[in-house]
Amino acid sequence: MKLALKVTEIEQLSPLVKRFRFEDPAGMALPVFSGGAHLTVEMSERTEAGEIIRRNSYSLISDPYDGGGYEIAVRREDKGRGGSLYMHTKVAEGDEITVSVPSNLFQLDLRARKHVLIGGGIGITPFLSQLKQLDMEQRPYELHYAARSRDEAAGLKLLPQAAHVHVHISEEGSRMDLGAVLDGQPLGTHVYTCGPGGLIAAVADQAARLGWPKASVHSEAFTAPPPGEPFDVVIASTGQSIHVKADQSLLEALEAARVEVEYSCRGGACGRCHTKVTACDGRILHNDHWLSDDERAAQQDIMPCMSRFKGARLELDL
Ligand code: FES
């Protein structure tokens, strides 16, 4: 389901990150969500080659219980497909924007006795709504936010000043000590990590070393699809050939050609867009976090939201 909303506020949070607030144009309440949810923003642009529709998913950073508006934070990626650049340079207060209803792939496990949230860089975003939920429901938590410099720490402006909110700026010599963060937490604590792959892996390693059960360790790794060289795919059921442009994801190209593929995260993490490959003469460039190493090597599966192709022929079971 899609919502046509109005951009009511834009704020520069750091040199590269802007906050956007969307509200219903008639002031109607929006569907509430749970901490960690995301929505997909639709960006339509007229170019010489025709209309391009990009869809990027962003974590909601606003209060999950506030139906008055949705807020997201967008980091400008100059080398990306153009979605974040569009948000930074083309979207103005007062514009209308189409978004999906929120969906959550990174929920808090409410059976936990305590929640430890660890965010790196722009990976702080899902925690901004989670900590509002945790505060509201009066659940015990602590949050650790790591960034290289204050300029990169866009979340600083949005975090409450509280004893259980810890900021680690490595340029200032306050690197996060994961051993100290995870050791000694009460039994039944869950840890959640969002940020660069290295941080997610380091938290998982440290938790395993300390004997944390796997079910208590959560992470969110979805990222924006990368641009790349153009390529073509063939739809097995119809024989239709579809061209994927350099600044388009395979999923966006399929959507533009009205070939329906399910999706949610659009960042290679939820598995919803999993598509079977019926013929592959070349190499699939797997950029997702979903397929196993064996599945990648077999080249019989692809996640169209993230992955690309290099070679003579790629045919999809669609
Ligand atoms: S839409 Fe989630 S993995 Fe592709």
The minimum-distance atom of ligand 1 relative to the CA of 288 is 3
Q: pTM of the entire structure?
A: 0.89
> How confident is the model at residue 225, as a pLDDT?
86
Cβ–ligand 1 distance for 144 under 6 Å, the answer no
> How confident is the model at residue 79, as a pLDDT?
84
Domain with CATH 3.10.20.30 in the chain: 231-316
Cβ–ligand 1 distance for 105 under 6 Å, the answer no
> How confident is the model at residue 46, as a pLDDT?
82
> How confident is the model at residue 81, as a pLDDT?
80
CATH topology of domain 114-220: Rossmann fold (3.40.50)
Cβ–ligand 1 distance for 263 under 6 Å, the answer yes
- Give the Å distances, CA to CA, from 134 to 26, 138, 246: 30, 6, 41
Residues of the chain with pLDDT under 70: 222
Q: What are the beta bridge partners of residue 220?
A: 194
> How confident is the model at residue 213, as a pLDDT?
96
From ligand 1's centre to the CA of 223, what distance in Å?
10
Cβ–ligand 1 distance for 274 under 6 Å, the answer no
The minimum-distance atom of ligand 1 relative to the CA of 303 is 4
Domain with CATH 3.40.50.80 in the chain: 114-220
From the options 3.40.50.300, 2.60.40.3950, 3.40.50.1220, 3.10.20.30, give the CATH code of 231-316: 3.10.20.30
Q: How many CA atoms lie within 13 A of 22 on its CB side?
A: 27
Phi and psi at 205, nearest 5°, equal: -60, -50
Domain with CATH 2.40.30.10 in the chain: 2-100
CATH for 2-100 is 2.40.30.10
Report yes or no: 301 and 291 within 8 Å, Cβ to Cβ: yes
